[in-house]
Chains A and B, each alone.
Chain A
Amino acid sequence: MPEPLIQLQGISKLFGDRMIYHDLHLDIFPGETLVILGASGSGKSTLLRVLMGHVKIDSGQVLIRGRPLHDMDRRELDSWRKSVGVLFQTGALFNSMTLRENLALPVREHTDLDDQTIDLMAQIYLQLVGLREHIDKLPAELSGGMKKRGGLARALMMQPRILFYDEPTAGLDPISTAQIGELIMNLKNKMGATSVLVTHDMQSAFHLADRLALLFDGKFAAIGSVEYFRTTTDPLVRQFVDGRLDGPFLNPSDQCSYKAELLGRKTDEVPHGKKTT
């Protein structure tokens, strides 16, 4: 086993009185594509924020190449952030700038390349995601899927070796989904990029993943290979992967308490399955 690139060691995090991580552990190895699965609201996006140092954790530590994230000074943290390309769930393009300016910004800020070169790069990456003819449009003029692809192009401008994708294919048409999948695959194969991918789309998850991790109730309930996730009889994994209605994710007794709540009755029995939001 090579040295892990990123290590999550015993992470706990409270939002108000809601514990979204409870003693979470995970190693991410260089060159691998790790898919993070989990219900909506289980804390997948927040986990990427933790890895970028945007969200402070309450206990535990994040190690980047063995170095604790919370010990890093501004410069070190910046160089970690520069080495990672992040595709946000909504694309997170700057609404006041055209696609061209969006893509140029990080390179202008961090390199001494001249404007012509930067512009050429922007065109190449937009071509790669199929948006070159929209280069002078503002994000408001683009569809949700196009914004997402624009965000991906911008994430690639700094030529990162590490990529975080937050639901890159959610809300895209099947062809765009395949294109993005292809792109992620290429980045991995040609550049040896390390990817952390949050997705609900099991088909692309199985297609792209080296390993999968299922986030449930503040912990990784299962971490394993594609083979493991396809074949295991773990009810949690089976329910999520196969998209079944019954199982630990939404316990039928949950629905009982919901019914009781609607009818205004007191609910004595607390179901052991956790409600998902």
Chain B
Amino acid sequence: MRAAIEFFGDFFYLLLDTLRAIAPALSSGRGRHLAWRNLWIQMNRIGVESIPIVSLVMFCIGAILAMQIAPEFAKFGIVPVTADVVALATFREMGPLVSAVVMTGFGGAAIAAEIGTMVVGEEIEAMEAMAIDPVRFLVVPRVVAGLLMMVCLTVVGDLAAMFGGLVASALLLHLGSMQYTHHALGILKVGDFLTGLAKAGVFGVLITAIACFLGLKVRGGAEGVGLNTSKTVVFTIVALILVDLIFTSVFFYLGV
């Protein structure tokens, strides 16, 4: 119990430190170009690799949703409403969550392993010995990249899912693509889109912050790196779902 409290305490300290370090890291004169270059590298590493997978997975999920829902609606003769449900489910829920899970596997695990290996190789200590703050130098670019790329990924994923639903509807449900698009656009409000993206941004921070945190916590050689890498994936997925629940409750309560 005490260990758990300490664990969360440490994690929130890291989050706070990170938030505090973001502005100075990206704006102060010294080493600024380094910070921006680092951010660019991390955005490529964390996000770009995930794009094809997110597209594929979300395309499939869109198609699956359409096929699961349509038979029920067919009983009431409202097959076109399938598009409404696919759109809402995707933009509000599946898009951010599934993209986040994919990014956890790609980016989160890679970050934890990388930083953990740096701990084992005395690299973090060397950094501190040179008065370079690992939070500013390692954590900030990863967390900011996580936030930005998660939002981008979610947009890509949302579109892929809608396209998947459209293809399935056209081929299997005899729902014309014009009708599908019309319905989807009709039901979606700006709020659906924005709440999805807000969640995505928070997920991006969560994924990268947990990965950095557990990476920095690695002790004892290669074994420790492996242990904390798998911990990262499990913890992150649990955390994503919990935060999702909290967000959804708040949105539900507020009616957005």
A residues 90-130 touching B (CB-CB < 8 Å): 90, 92-96, 105-106, 108-110, 112
Cβ A106 vs Cβ B132 within 8 A: yes
Cβ A109 vs Cβ B128 within 8 A: no
Cβ B123 vs Cβ A94 within 8 A: yes
Cβ A81 vs Cβ B122 within 8 A: no
User: Chain A's nearest CB lies how many Å from the CB of B33?
Assistant: 9
Cβ B30 vs Cβ A88 within 8 A: no
A: residues with CB less than 8 A from B are: 49, 52, 54, 77-79, 81-82, 84, 86, 88-90, 92-96, 105-106, 108-110, 112, 151, 158
- B131 at the binding interface (Cβ < 8 Å): yes
Complex: A81 Cα to B117 Cα, angstroms? 23
Cβ A81 vs Cβ B30 within 8 A: no
17 pairs, A vs B, C-beta closer than 8 Å: A52-B129, A77-B131, A81-B129, A81-B130, A88-B126, A90-B121, A90-B122, A92-B126, A93-B123, A94-B123, A95-B123, A96-B114, A106-B130, A106-B131, A108-B31, A110-B30, A112-B30
User: Chain B's nearest CB lies how many Å from the CB of A115?
Assistant: 9
**Using Cβ atoms and an 8 Å threshold, which residues of chain A touch B130?**
81-82, 105-106, 109-110, 158
Cβ A95 vs Cβ B121 within 8 A: yes
**Using Cβ atoms and an 8 Å threshold, which residues of chain B touch A105?**
130, 132
Q: A84-B129, A105-B130 are in contact. Are A92 and B121 (CB under 8 A)?
A: yes
Q: For this complex, into which size category does the number of interface residues on chain B fall?
A: 10 to 19
- B125 at the binding interface (Cβ < 8 Å): yes
- B245 at the binding interface (Cβ < 8 Å): no
**Using Cβ atoms and an 8 Å threshold, which residues of chain B touch A78?**
131
Closest chain B residue to A139 by CB distance?
B121
User: Chain A's nearest CB lies how many Å from the CB of B124?
Assistant: 9
Complex: A78 Cα to B122 Cα, angstroms? 18
**Using Cβ atoms and an 8 Å threshold, which residues of chain A touch B125?**
49, 54, 88, 92
Complex: A54 Cα to B128 Cα, angstroms? 8
**Using Cβ atoms and an 8 Å threshold, which residues of chain B touch A90?**
121-122
**Using Cβ atoms and an 8 Å threshold, which residues of chain B touch A95?**
117-118, 121, 123
- B185 at the binding interface (Cβ < 8 Å): no
Complex: A161 Cα to B230 Cα, angstroms? 43
- B34 at the binding interface (Cβ < 8 Å): yes
Q: Which of B34, B114, B122, B127 contacts A89 (CB 8 A)?
A: B122
Complex: A106 Cα to B126 Cα, angstroms? 10
The 6 A-B residue pairs with the shortest CB-CB distance, nearest first, are A92-B126, A92-B122, A78-B131, A81-B131, A106-B130, A86-B129
A-contact bits for B134-159, CB 8 A (1 contact / 0 none) = 00010000000000000000000000
